[in-house]
Amino acid sequence: MKIRQVESSDRDAWNDFVSETHHALRYEWSEIIEKTFSHKPLYLIAENEKGIAGILPLFLFKSSLFGKSMISVPYLNAGGAFGSPEACIELLTRSIAIASNHKVKYLEFRHQANFAECFSKKTVRQHKVSMELRLTEDEQTMFSSFPAKLRSQIRRPLKEGAELQTWQGHNSCSQAIDDFYTVFSENMRDLGTPVYPKKLFSQTMKQFGKNAAITVCYLDKQPAAAGLTVTNGHSREIVWASSLKKFNRQSPNMALYWEIIRQAILSKDKIFDFGRSSPDGGTYKFKQQWGAFPVQLNWHYHSFSGDIPDVNPKNSKYEYIVRMWQRLPLPLANIVGPLLSQHLP
């Protein structure tokens, strides 16, 4: 088994290899994250006599807040090694050596599979699940499968004049990005979380083209809820989504999610991924009502120097910072947030 670092000429072969798995493993993210946050990609390929046997996307993540680490893949729900068991073990072993050479504090792999046995100094966190909905072949069957209360919640914003518009990556425009960011940035401020740079979303739309889409729900001609999806194989994930509190009564997020699910069905997708949640948390229950089921996420760590930082806004040590952030004027939060989010994986 030969392990080597990826070259730009490997892009098509890499994407062919991961074409039926999670979009976080696609080559596009190496360019999106490097161009947005300047974190260096160190993508690895395992090859045998038949060709590619496994891949591992890695980023050298330099944070002035938490030190240097290597992550597969930062900002996303999944990543880590993919391929034959033998190739994955070789890739993970090699990544530990590479990380040691870079003198990082720790390695983080955002796996769905459980590779804990591969690490001598191993830690696994199973604090998150991905919520996935199996899609029917037609939208009417899907809609009829929802509980009556959910169907009523979906209809409510539509009865109140909600309008929905979708842009695919290759047809996106500045309005799509601006309206999405209007909703997303205000919601992140309200949650007490630094917002990502707008460039992250424009780069995602550009790099993924027709496989990325932004959907916005408008009420009174104002963006009230918005989501950005990425498709790979027959699975579509809503990678980022938000709605504004001032429109809570009209439930624009319900119309938004149904429109995105409907589009996934029309595109013949088999799975709609609502993204990650904490088991039994508020977002978990919201996604569960649609019929979504949990898929365990296994985030594996190899530590070189002590504890793994718990970078979570719900961590009690950050409570004061979160409360202060929620009080920031939105224009200020939108200036400072992107500077901080570069250092928060």
- pLDDT over threshold 60, residue 50: yes
Residue 141's pLDDT band, with cuts at 50, 70 and 90, is very high
- pLDDT over threshold 60, residue 121: no
Mean pLDDT over 324-344 rounds to 94
- In a 13 Å sphere around the CA of 173, the CA atoms on its Cβ side amount to 4
- pLDDT over threshold 60, residue 119: no
- Torsion over CA of 331, 336, 342 and 345, rounded to 10 degrees? -80
- pLDDT over threshold 80, residue 95: yes
CA distance 124 to 47: 27
Count of positions (residues) in the chain: 345
Amino acid type, 232: N
- CB 180 within 8 Å of CB 226: yes
Residue 154: left if φ>0, alpha if ψ -120 to 50, beta else—which one?
Answer: alpha
CA distance 264 to 137: 10
Output the six-digit token pair for 318: 């950050």
Structural domains of the chain, ranges and CATH numbers in brackets:
2-128+297-309 (3.40.630.30), 136-269 (3.40.630.30)
Mean pLDDT over 100-108 rounds to 93
- pLDDT over threshold 90, residue 125: no
Output the six-digit token pair for 292: 């979504």
Query: Could you give the residue ranges of the DSSP H alpha helices within the chain?
Result: 11-17, 28-37, 85-101, 139-145, 148-159, 174-191, 198-208, 252-266, 282-288, 319-326, 330-341
Residue 246's pLDDT band, with cuts at 50, 70 and 90, is very high
Q: What is the DSSP letter of 307?
A: P
Mean pLDDT over 237-266 rounds to 97
What's the whole-model pTM score? Answer: 0.93
Mean pLDDT over 289-315 rounds to 83
In terms of Cα–Cα distance, which of 47, 65, 55 is closest to 30?
A: 55
